[in-house]
Amino acid sequence: MSKKSEELFHEYFIEWVEMYKYGAVRSITLRKYYVTHKKIVELAPKLALSELNRRSYQKLLNDYALTHEKQTTMDFHHQLKGAILDALDEKLISRDPTRKVVIKGKQPGNKKPKFLNQFELHALLNQLELTEKVTWDWLILLIAKTGLRFSEALAITPEDFDFSRQLLTISKTWNYKSVNGGFQPTKNQSSKRKVPIDWQTVMQFSQLVKKLPSNKPIFIKSRVFNSTVNSCLSKHCKNASIPIISIHGLRHTHASLLLFAGVSIASVARRLGHSNMTTTQQTYLHVIHELENQDNDKIMRHLATLY
């Protein structure tokens, strides 16, 4: 047994993160790896790399699952698995302890609504006060109409709009979690995209931004907090007597309404900047199931006419 394999698993994991993830992933993703490391220290502080087998690994996941939902446990497992498979390649362990793993999790709590229906969205938009001054109401409108991520919308500058071709270019995000802010890359390469916008949005934003600096973010005046914009959105939802959703829920609303309108999953995935259609399918599974039920009804009605 090598001396390396005798080190503690949490020590190997943090070394692996520093070696392969630091500087290679976005800061928000890197923070998740550090949180995962803290959980290993908390749940298995004395687990050596050499003691990693199917039983000890399953126990670690089971202990984590006692206080986390199934999807969160799955995310925890995926981060651990990356390091473990590298340890296997380096022959620090002899077998893959993640093989045939069982993912558990506590019962999900009552979920807040993630998206609005078309009637509710209309009621929300009617609450917005769209004056000549740039406010959070304009940001809410933009995300509702485009499905942008919050950080993408914050990074929008006047020159990102191509009003004549009715396109909005997404090429960067705004680092709102940092005190100093600043532009940063998109989530992935697929997130760089040109989003078609309707003529009404063109008319509204062409007037709003015409006197603003072309290369400066429209919505950034000082440090921005996600909670500030969510609070503004929550107020409008209450006034409209509709379910309270988050600013990210507007992105879900946008995508869900497109799917219900019959837009293909491939087109919705491109519009949202998803790296593949699988992400879109998993995120909007509930909508897809509902659409499949509607399709089955159409199929049955069609078949009933054939005789």
Q: Are residues 151 and 243 in the same domain?
A: yes
One-letter amino acid at 100 equals K
Please report, for the domain that includes residue 190, its CATH number: 1.10.443.10
**Could you count the other beta carbons within 10 Å of the beta carbon of residue 101?**
16
Last residue of a domain, one of 72, 89, 106: 89
| 284 close to 255: Cβ distance less than 8 angstroms | yes
CATH of the domain at 34: 1.10.150.130
Same domain, 174 and 41: no
Do residue 151 and residue 245 come from a single domain? yes
Do residues 122 and 79 share a domain? no
Q: Quote the number of domains for the chain.
A: 2
285 shares its domain with 171: yes
- Assess if residue 43 is contained within a domain: yes
pTM of the model: 0.70
In this structure, are 287 and 189 located in the same domain? Answer: yes
Establish if 298 belongs to a structural domain.
no
Same domain, 225 and 266: yes
Regarding whether 282 and 141 lie in a shared domain, the answer is: yes
Last residue of a domain, one of 70, 89, 108: 89
Q: Which of 17, 21, 19 has its CA nearest to residue 40? A: 17
Domain residues for the domain of 159 are 118-292
pLDDT, position 142: 98
Q: Report the alpha-carbon distance of residue 82 to residue 37 in Å, rounded.
A: 13
Would you give per-residue pLDDT tens digits along the chain (307 residues)? 455 557 999 999 999 999 999 988 888 889 999 999 999 999 999 999 999 999 999 999 999 999 999 989 999 999 999 999 999 999 999 999 999 999 999 887 766 668 888 899 999 999 999 999 999 999 999 999 999 999 999 999 999 999 999 999 999 999 998 888 999 999 889 999 999 999 999 999 999 999 999 999 999 999 999 999 999 999 999 999 999 999 999 999 999 999 988 899 999 999 999 988 888 887 887 777 777 777 777 777 777 887 6
**Do residues 238 and 194 both lie within one domain?**
yes
Say whether both 282 and 209 belong to one domain: yes
- CA dist., res. 141 & res. 155, Å (int): 15
Q: Has residue 245 been placed in a domain?
A: yes
Q: Is 238 part of any domain?
A: yes
* 107 assigned to some structural domain: no
- Contacts of residue 24, defined as CB under 8 A and 6 or more positions apart, other chains included, come to none
Question: Do residues 96 and 85 lie in contact, with contact meaning Cβ atoms separated by under 8 Å?
Answer: yes
Q: Is there a single domain that holds both residue 136 and residue 283?
A: yes
The closest alpha carbon to 111, from 221, 245, 224, 8, belongs to 245
Same domain? 233 vs 185: yes
Domain end residue (candidates: 89, 110, 129)? 89
State whether residue 183 is helix, strand or coil. strand
- Indicate whether 307 belongs to any domain: no
* pLDDT single digits (tens) 218-234: 999 999 999 999 999 99
Q: Is residue 220 part of a domain?
A: yes
- The rounded Cα 215 to chain-centroid distance in angstroms is 26
